[in-house]
Structure 1
Amino acid sequence: MKNLMKIGEMARFNQVSVPTLRLYDRMGLLKPCHIDQDSGYRYYSIYQKARLDMIQYMKELGMSLGEIKTILEQGDIQLIESTLIRKKKQVRQQIAELETRLGAITRAIESTERFRKAPNKGMTTVEYIPHRKIYVMHTDVNFYDHDISVYEEILGQLKLDILRHGLPQLYYCNAGTILPREYFLSQHLESHEIFVFLDDNFPESQTVRRIDSGMFACIYLDRFEDEPAYAAKLLEYCTQNGYTVCGDYLCEVLTEFNVFDSQHRSMFLRLQVPLSFQQ
């Protein structure tokens, strides 16, 4: 039969599978133009390639087979346009989600690299740290009045707070705490703010802050319980060297390796305060 192809030939010619053509037939997307009553063979016309090309193109644009079926049945150009506009919005959302995931992966790599190259526990340094954006949650609980079990409870509250504000859960990682400058200088350990790092494109608000870049005095440790003693060492280091602390103290969790211990949170911390060298 001139210009007719069996289903297998049609599949090979158009780089699709036979089961795909059978599915299109069942859904009414693309039915064979002829079925031999004796053999049951399905035959497609060469001219049906245009319809199959359109189906494949719409699939590449992200349309579902159900959407394609509706468009082909109705033949409405406005429906095609509105469907494409909706797909464009969906793709933009997917791109934004992938960029968020890429940023999280990049931060995880950087955290791991910092862990590998960080000074030994107890070592004090002065480092330049680029500006950062953080999401901050206030809590009535003073972290330093309790053990790590209460900290775990507050972390749970932080996760809920992040999700409630519409942020991806990917940002719930390596949470740190903030101590006001005057409290650090007097070693009055009372903190009611917990934070996580965000991408730089987040606008500043009541919950999103920018930490300016600059030189920071830092000290490293690997136990949550040791923070008060190491905060005192950090202040002593600044005092002995005549450094002026010009901002709030941060306890930053550089990285966590909880894959190694299922019972306890394994953290590597960097305590830090910004310094001013102006006379």
Structure 2
Amino acid sequence: MYQDEKNEIKNGLYSIGAISEVTGLSVTAIRYYSEKKLIVPSYIDESTGYRYFSSRHIWKLEVIKMYKQLGFSLSDIQELQETKQLRILEQIIEKSEQSIWEKIEEYNETLENLSWLKDQCSIYQHAKSESGFMIRNIPERRVLYAPSRSETDMWDLAMIHQKKITKELQMQKTIHRCYGYVLKNNFLQQGGLKIEGEYIKLDNYYSCREEELKILPAGNYLCLIKTSWNGIRKIGFKRCRSRSRC
């Protein structure tokens, strides 16, 4: 256990508390750097265990702070201190640059995903204002398709489909996805919705088989949000007979 060093200067040397005030680093951080041999005390008081540092250590800590701001790891900083070679510094800089570019790419993907999700919220709000229905012109889609085991139980189908595409979803770089249902061709004549299958559209497909994919043609689609499903039978589709289905 280390005792708390006072903010004092002794014989031209600085206590950890004094060093902390000058550098802005916490006492805990300075102790940690000392334990990792990034800085070695100039003097340790045997009676108190207090460690004292010279003004040279202030400069060293400022360099450590700079390296940390650049994303250098402690092991990188230790290697630099041990080797003092410009070649090693250049290698660490290149590694840090690569790491930063990867983070920038991740952040850009996250921003793009947030923008996409925001657009989906707008679509949802528009659909709600139109009683859950909207006509959309949608280009041709290549979708991952799962045929229905039940004509009416969409939740059972959704569970089957979700298990089927879990691996595919894990391989996606974005959250872009669009779930939908394919209805029986004669559902209007039958007076009710009959589910033929469920699909999900992704930006790319990596692990699914070609026969699991289905082409949905371009056209005008009657689209509805899922929360409106229970109200479909009440409203009916008589006014939309000439439209394609989502």
TM-score of the aligned structures, taking structure 1 as reference length = 0.61
The answer on whether the counterparts of 2:15 and 2:51 sit within 8 Å (CA) in structure 1 is: yes
1:58–1:143 distance in 2 versus 1, CA, 3 Å: farther
- Counterpart of 2:207 in structure 1 is none
1:56–1:94 distance in 2 versus 1, CA, 3 Å: same
- Alpha-carbon distance in structure 2 between the residues aligned to 1:86 and 1:176: 44
Which of 155, 167, 175 matches 1:160? 167
1:111–1:13 distance in 2 versus 1, CA, 3 Å: same
The answer on whether the counterparts of 1:35 and 1:41 sit within 8 Å (CA) in structure 2 is: yes
For residue 201 of structure 2, give the secondary structure of its aligned residue in structure 1.
Answer: strand
Q: Within the alignment, does 1:195 sit opposite 2:201 as a pair?
A: yes
1:178–1:73 distance in 2 versus 1, CA, 3 Å: farther
- Alpha-carbon distance in structure 2 between the residues aligned to 1:150 and 1:44: 69
- Counterpart of 1:265 in structure 2 is none
The answer on whether the counterparts of 1:126 and 1:215 sit within 8 Å (CA) in structure 2 is: no
Q: Within the alignment, does 1:61 sit opposite 2:61 as a pair?
A: no
The answer on whether the counterparts of 1:25 and 1:32 sit within 8 Å (CA) in structure 2 is: yes
The answer on whether the counterparts of 1:162 and 1:172 sit within 8 Å (CA) in structure 2 is: no
1:106–1:2 distance in 2 versus 1, CA, 3 Å: same
In our comparison, the structure showing a higher alpha carbon Rg is 2
Which of 137, 141, 144 matches 1:137? 144
- Counterpart of 2:53 in structure 1 is 44
Tell me the amino acid that sits aligned with residue 237 of structure 1.
Answer: C
For residue 200 of structure 2, give the secondary structure of its aligned residue in structure 1.
Answer: strand
1:19–1:116 distance in 2 versus 1, CA, 3 Å: same
- Alpha-carbon distance in structure 1 between the residues aligned to 2:102 and 2:30: 31
Q: Within the alignment, does 1:233 sit opposite 2:230 as a pair?
A: no
- Residue correspondence of structure 1 range 114-263 to structure 2 within 5 A: 114-118=123-127, 119-121=129-131, 123=133, 125-127=134-136, 136-139=143-146, 141-142=147-148, 145=151, 147=153, 148-163=155-170, 166-168=171-173, 171=175, 175-177=179-181, 190-191=196-197, 193-196=199-202, 198=203, 216-221=220-225, 222-224=227-229, 233=237, 237=240, 239=242, 249-250=245-246
RMSD over aligned Cα atoms: 4.3
Q: Within the alignment, does 1:72 sit opposite 2:72 as a pair?
A: no
For residue 237 of structure 2, give the secondary structure of its aligned residue in structure 1.
Answer: helix
Q: Percent identical across equivalent pairs?
A: 18
Unaligned runs of 5+ in 1: 251-279
TM-score of the aligned structures, taking structure 2 as reference length = 0.68
Tell me the amino acid that sits aligned with residue 94 of structure 2.
Answer: I
Provide, for residues 222-273 of structure 1, a one-character-per-residue CA deviation record: whole Å limited to 9, x for no partner.
355777x69x828x5252xxx7x6xxx53xxxxxxxxxxxxxxxxxxxxxxx
Unaligned runs of 5+ in 2: 1-9, 205-209
Provide, for residues 28-56 of structure 1, a one-character-per-residue CA deviation record: whole Å limited to 9, x for no partner.
01111222345543221112222212211
Q: Within the alignment, does 1:94 sit opposite 2:103 as a pair?
A: yes
For residue 104 of structure 1, give the secondary structure of its aligned residue in structure 2.
Answer: helix
Q: Within the alignment, does 1:32 sit opposite 2:41 as a pair?
A: yes
1:86–1:144 distance in 2 versus 1, CA, 3 Å: farther
1:10 Cα offset (Å): 0.9
For residue 171 of structure 1, give the secondary structure of its aligned residue in structure 2.
Answer: coil
Q: How many residues align?
A: 225
The answer on whether the counterparts of 2:157 and 2:198 sit within 8 Å (CA) in structure 1 is: no
